[in-house]
Chains A and B, each alone.
Chain A
Amino acid sequence: MEPITQLRSRTVVMPSTNIDTDQIIPARFLTTTTREGLGKALFADWRYDAAGNPRPDFILNRPEAAGCQALVAGRNVGCGSSREHAPWALIDYGFRAVISTEIADIFRNNSLKNGLLPVTVDEETHAWLLAHPGTEIAIDLETCTVALADGREVSFPLEPFARYCLMNGVDELGFLLSRKEDIEHYERTHAK
């Protein structure tokens, strides 16, 4: 995983609440055995019509969405399935951050493990972001803040260990493997 400290990007806004992982990546695309190439299928049922043509009114098909790395979504984004294909698809498409007032647990975990920043902001900031699609934001992991174009800086919570891993490109598996002795000790002392 590439270390990440800062992200500066314009935003794409999808105001729907409860955007579930079946919307982010429908199940029929889950029969893959790799992580790559899922960006094409991101939001497939909203993005393409029955014939597979892009729907011109869907936000990701509009020119202003090109190059945006931050997705501002309605409350409770990522609810539903545990499929890690959801953050994989978002990342493969080009997103590096998802911003909402509430981010579902498993999706948040999966995102952190892939370097997709889950940013939970307060209602007021969220409302402002929803009202200003395409605005330029700067996310800073050093300070755990989002800087908005109107000059405000709002902080967001981030689990300290996840933050450390993101900023240093540390992979958690390596960390767990380094605690092998603790695990062996646990196994010895907790008979089946």
Chain B
Amino acid sequence: MAALTMFEKVWSAHEVVPETSDTPAILYIDLHLTHEVTSPQAFSVLRERGLPVRRLDRTLATMDHSTPTDHDQIFGGVPIRLESARKQVEQLERNTSEFGVELIGLQSPQRGIVHIIGPELGATQPGKTVVCGDSHTSTHGAFGALAFGIGTTEVGHVLATQCLLQRKPKTFSVEVQGRLGPGVTAKDLILAIIGRIGVSGGTGHVLEYRGEAIRAMSMEERMTVCNMSIEAGARAGMVAPDETTFAYLEGRPRAPAGELWERAVDTWRQLPSDPGARFDREVVLDAGHVEPMITYGTNPGMVLPLSGAIPSSGDEVFRKALRYMGFEPGEHVAGKAIDVVFVGSCTNARISDLRAAARVMDGRKVARRVRMLVVPGSQQVKKEAEAEGLDRIFVEAGAEWRESGCSMCLGMNGDTVGAGKYAVSTSNRNFEGRQGTGARTLLASPLTAAAAAVTGRVTDPREFLG
């Protein structure tokens, strides 16, 4: 039999009808995650056409994007201040109760950013197809799932039929040899990968991250890497499941248990790409050469090692991006004074991310005039962090410790950076205005973000790690 890639195995196991030259494949979806922002119009279509949700057991809703991170507006009986956000939250409550969809609601201890809670609950599993009306659905690929973002029309398709019409994407192997150095994180690696292949380098492809550096990573690190696959333009990113994956999943509320667990693991062991499987494209990187990275422009491909300088030449688009950022060609980003630090988002708000930031913050203070916001990725992460005392470290340093949600990753819930201000952010997009109108975003790892909080400047975190 022909050697197959992991993607091909998962794809063919989900073909309800294979593609032909005239028609795309009908692809079956195992897990449909949905949230308040991209679902209302899809539920409206179901209502207009008198259709039910086909598989309630494969559909899970939560709210994260427009929800506030302020305690009182969630638990204190204070209404959500942004009226349009409040309406959207109420709409999801109405839609899910009308159609019978399970909702992890505003006050649920299981609530959090959709891409954090899927894995946390054990709902995300190897070999599954996972979709959500959100481009960072690629995160779930860390488990060897085929996971990708869809638009609202497609959310309606999945609600009504549990299927999508899809053309088969191409495959792209990203092999990372060697090991990351101390103080260099999964976030730095994925930024380096995007810097290398470009923000549209993965268009039309599913990436498979392979090699020693990926194998050595924890699940949380793999999620950080897969999360930003979309920033390279890719449909999805995948990592082959292995003992690390199984150890993470075992015992989670929605993971199979008992005999079913044994059987599931046996199937999952078959998933990794066969030796000799061919990819449409390949790139090889050496993890040992990756340094702490920081972005300087208005897309994640405009990225540098902290030791590097902004390129001194570029086209008009490049110059426009630098004008927006207030940077000069040839300048170093390291040493720049900053205004805001955001530790959060589906890229870097899991417990290991908060631990990393706390390690730098411990016994130190947030620099004067810097605002630091720490937003756990889920209520579960929040609880875990509080049990370890991480919240005390942040609060004593002068940071704000919030309820979970997307928060400052995108400016639609009341948390914004401010026009013209510089934010070192552990999120995934530095687009113009992403963190609020006029905000200037520098993407970096939790370590680098924490180091910037302490010094008030873009700083190499390795100085603090001794």
Q: A81 contacts which chain B residues (CB < 8 A)?
A: 134-135, 429
Q: B28 contacts which chain A residues (CB < 8 A)?
A: 183, 186-187, 190
Known contacts A31-B82, A31-B88, A160 near B151 by CB under 8 Å: no
Q: Does B204 count as interface, using CB distance less than 8 angstroms?
A: yes
Q: Which of B40-87 contact A (CB under 8 A)?
A: 40-41, 44-45, 49, 51, 54, 65-66, 82, 84-85, 87
Q: Which of B107-115, B152-160, B341-349, B382-390 is found at the contact surface with chain A?
A: B152-160
Cα A23 to Cα B437 with chains together (Å): 10
Q: A23 contacts which chain B residues (CB < 8 A)?
A: 431-433
Cα A28 to Cα B437 with chains together (Å): 9
User: Interface code B84-96, partner A: CB below 8 Å = 1, 0 otherwise?
Assistant: 1101100100000
Q: Does A57 count as interface, using CB distance less than 8 angstroms?
A: no
Cα A101 to Cα B161 with chains together (Å): 34
Is B432 a contact partner of A45 (Cβ separation < 8 A)? yes
Known contacts A31-B37, A31-B412, A173-B156, A82 near B26 by CB under 8 Å: no
User: Interface code B274-313, partner A: CB below 8 Å = 1, 0 otherwise?
Assistant: 0000000000000000000000000101000000000000
Please tell me which one of the listed residues A33, A35, A182 contacts residue B26 in the complex, with CB atoms under 8 A apart: A182
Is B17 a contact partner of A33 (Cβ separation < 8 A)? no
Is B433 a contact partner of A15 (Cβ separation < 8 A)? no
Q: A176 contacts which chain B residues (CB < 8 A)?
A: 26, 157, 160-161, 163, 165
Is A20 a contact partner of B299 (Cβ separation < 8 A)? yes
Is A17 a contact partner of B22 (Cβ separation < 8 A)? no
User: Interface code B190-205, partner A: CB below 8 Å = 1, 0 otherwise?
Assistant: 0000000001100110
Is A33 a contact partner of B91 (Cβ separation < 8 A)? yes
Q: Does A74 count as interface, using CB distance less than 8 angstroms?
A: yes
Known contacts A31-B66, A31-B85, A80-B431, A16 near B320 by CB under 8 Å: yes
Residue of chain A at shortest CB distance from B137: A82
Q: Does B410 count as interface, using CB distance less than 8 angstroms?
A: yes
Cα A27 to Cα B84 with chains together (Å): 12
Is A173 a contact partner of B45 (Cβ separation < 8 A)? yes
> What is A's interface to B at a CB cutoff of 8 Å?
15-18, 20, 22-23, 26-28, 30-35, 45, 50, 74-76, 79-84, 102, 104-106, 109-110, 113-114, 159-161, 164, 172-173, 175-177, 179-180, 182-183, 185-187, 190
A-B contacts, 17 of them at CB < 8 A, read: A15-B316, A18-B317, A27-B410, A31-B88, A32-B40, A34-B40, A50-B438, A76-B233, A82-B134, A82-B151, A83-B151, A104-B233, A109-B150, A173-B157, A177-B161, A179-B163, A187-B162
A-B residue pairs, 4 tightest by C-beta: A31-B84, A33-B40, A110-B151, A84-B151
Known contacts A33-B40, A84-B153; can you find 19 more A-B pairs with CB under 8 A? Answer: A18-B301, A27-B65, A28-B411, A28-B412, A31-B84, A32-B84, A33-B41, A33-B88, A50-B437, A76-B200, A79-B199, A82-B150, A106-B235, A110-B153, A159-B167, A160-B22, A161-B22, A173-B160, A190-B28
